[in-house]
Structure 1
Amino acid sequence: MVNPGEVPTASVSDLPSQDLVLLDVREPDEWAAGHAPEAVHIPLGELPARAAELAELPDDKPLYVVCRSGGRSARAAMWLNAAGIADAINVAGGMKSWHTEGRPLVGDREGVPPEVL
């Protein structure tokens, strides 16, 4: 088991502004409320069963993993790295920091502005 302190981590301000490969591991209701426009959504609990989908993502760039505040994404990044599936980096502060930093947010709920649950 990898020590959580050993999980590669980046702050939102350190993320590339273009060609960002972002995996959102939050639950469907959190995703629908607000998410990064280009993110791929695979809830943490579904990650092992859907790991093959990650093979379709570019493998020449790191995979940034995000949740609401950084806890679930740290576990996901740890698992992805340990399993050799991706060069995964946890996004510190999660979507809360994403939103605070003014990064774009889109939602799936009609007539409701996007928000981070």
Structure 2
Amino acid sequence: MKRMMPLLLSLLLLAGCGGNSAGGSYQQITQEEAKEMMDTQEVIILDVREQDEYDSGHIPGAVLLPVGSIDETAAAEVIPEKDSTVLVYCRSGNRSKTASSTLAELGYTNIYEFGGINTWPYETET
């Protein structure tokens, strides 16, 4: 049994590093953290709502990729580099979680989900 302990501990540690339980691995951040990243580094701001929602108001610089259309081809058009820093939002935070998980499963490595525009305290544009 003593010889098996290191193996069991290693397996437990590896199991604990599985990432987000929603599927792919992405990070959830606050809107304040997202705004700070927008202001200080090169990021792709991804709006995963529908076209009419985007047209009614979006975060400046955001690109539209509706959650239902995310596949390898569509994602590659908007996010050509898999290691790009991508900030994902929707209306309330549900679709952005789904989209972030899907992007992570497609191999994108720097995905940050920050909720919905309905609580975004900063500038928007139409």
TM-score, normalised with respect to structure 2: 0.69
Shift of 1:17: 3.8
**Aligned match for 2:114, one of 69, 91, 106:** 91
Shift of 1:4: 2.7
Separation (CA, whole Å) in 2 of partners of 1:47 and 1:86: 16
Per the alignment, residue 4 of structure 1 pairs with 22
Separation (CA, whole Å) in 2 of partners of 1:4 and 1:105: 29
CA RMSD of aligned residues (A): 2.3
Q: Which has the higher contact order (CA 8 A, sep 6+)?
A: 1
Q: Are residues 85 and 12 of structure 1, via their aligned partners in 2, closer, same or farther at CA, if it must alter by over 3 Å?
A: same
Q: Is the 8 A contact 1:80 1:87 kept in 2?
A: no
| Count, aligned residues | 101
TM-score, normalised with respect to structure 1: 0.74
Gaps of 5+ in 2: 1-19
Q: Secondary structure at the match of 1:96?
A: helix
Alignment of 1:74 onto 2:91: no
Give the fraction of aligned pairs with identical amino acids, expressed as a percent.
31
Greater Cα radius of gyration, structure 1 or 2:
2
Gaps of 5+ in 1: 108-117
Shift of 1:84: 0.4
